[in-house]
Structure 1
Amino acid sequence: MSTWVIVMIVVAVILIGALIALSIYGKKLQARQEASQKELENASQSVSLLVIDKKRMKLNESGLPQLVLDQTPKYMRGRKVPIVKAKIGPRIMSLMCDERIFELIPVKKEIRAVISGIYIMDVKGLRSNLEARKTKVKFSEKLRRKVDELRQEEKAAEKEKADKKQKKKK
């Protein structure tokens, strides 16, 4: 056998081994994540709160308790996370928020939130329904819509011309 065939076989074996290792590691991480999610759901409670401010901040600057900062991994301390400042009863607290819920939270309004510790898991409007912010339409999407409109106008114009020709023939 030539050397390049042997090299290709070795590379293929290494890649297959890496894929197997990654799949096993992924399953373990998924099991951990599901277990922690169940713990959060079991400890969750529904609370009404007044949202004062919301920002994406680094954990060091967020005003969270030192215990929380000590428990987070070092690589996460520099990353920006969604932080919500809210008044719960007489106390003003800084809370972390789920990324997918962050855009739904209105500022300077009262909401009903499902929280677990200092983590906001879900929100509902207290007096009215919450509305998702309108996402910006991308430039390519605007172009696509404009092209579709122009095509429809062309088809309508062609149809009118065809109808006029048929009427003239009769």
Structure 2
Amino acid sequence: MPVWAILLIILVIMIAVFAFLYYYGKKMQTKQEENRAQLEAAAQNVSMLVIDKKRMKIKDADLPKIVMEQFPKRYMNAKMPIVKAKIGPRIMSLIAEEEVFDLIPVKAEIKASVSGIYILSIRNFRNAEVAPPEKKGFLAKIRKKQSELLKKDK
């Protein structure tokens, strides 16, 4: 078989894969926009006292059992931004958006837009200064991972 025929077959396969990914990406984007619109429609402004925030696995996050059952199994071990907050008399675990998670101050009262157990945005802070998160360099991230691996080995 000539080389040009093999290259032509590879080119056709690559075009088919890219076309599929384009179509699938568009479909997922419209689905995400619809879900986002539903979340925005159901959002309520809530005043809360943030107790703690960290990235942790869903199964360790102490979320309600109903939420755990509805969560896809493939995301159970993925780390999510979890915020523990006191809303009224109750202490709840909430899931924050990635952009919002870095802005949330710990041990401070905030007003946030919440839909169910999902923090969509922060409206205002009360008596809290939010320091911008420090950007870590590539080498700092590698050193941190290396030290974590060494701690696990011991």
What is the match of residue 110 of structure 2? 111
Amino acid at match of 2:51: I
SS at 1:26's partner residue? helix
Identity %: 47
Partner deviation per Cα, 1:122-160 (whole Å, 9 max, x = no partner): 1133424753424236489xxxxxxxxxxxxxxxxxxxx
Cα distance in 2, alignment partners of residues 70 and 136 from structure 1: 36
1:56–1:80 CA contact under 8 A, matched in 2:
yes
Structure having the higher helix fraction is 1
SS at 2:75's partner residue? helix
Cα distance in 2, alignment partners of residues 97 and 34 from structure 1: 18
- Runs (5+) with no aligned partner, structure 2: 140-154
What is the match of residue 14 of structure 1? 13
1:110–1:125 CA contact under 8 A, matched in 2:
no
Identify the structure with bigger relative contact order (alpha carbons < 8 Å, sequence gap 6+). Answer: 2
**Number of residues paired by the alignment?**
139
SS at 1:56's partner residue? strand
RMSD: 1.8
What is the match of residue 162 of structure 1? none
Structure having the higher strand fraction is 2
Distance change >3 Å, CA 113–CA 20, structure 1 → 2: same
SS at 2:126's partner residue? coil
What is the match of residue 52 of structure 2? 53
- Runs (5+) with no aligned partner, structure 1: 141-170
Q: Which has the larger radius of gyration?
A: 1
Cα distance in 1, alignment partners of residues 56 and 133 from structure 2: 23
Cα distance in 2, alignment partners of residues 114 and 36 from structure 1: 16
1:86–1:92 CA contact under 8 A, matched in 2:
yes
What is the match of residue 135 of structure 2? 136
What is the match of residue 61 of structure 2? 62
Amino acid at match of 1:71: Q
Alignment of 1:17-166 (within 5 A): 17-128=16-127, 131-136=130-135, 138=137
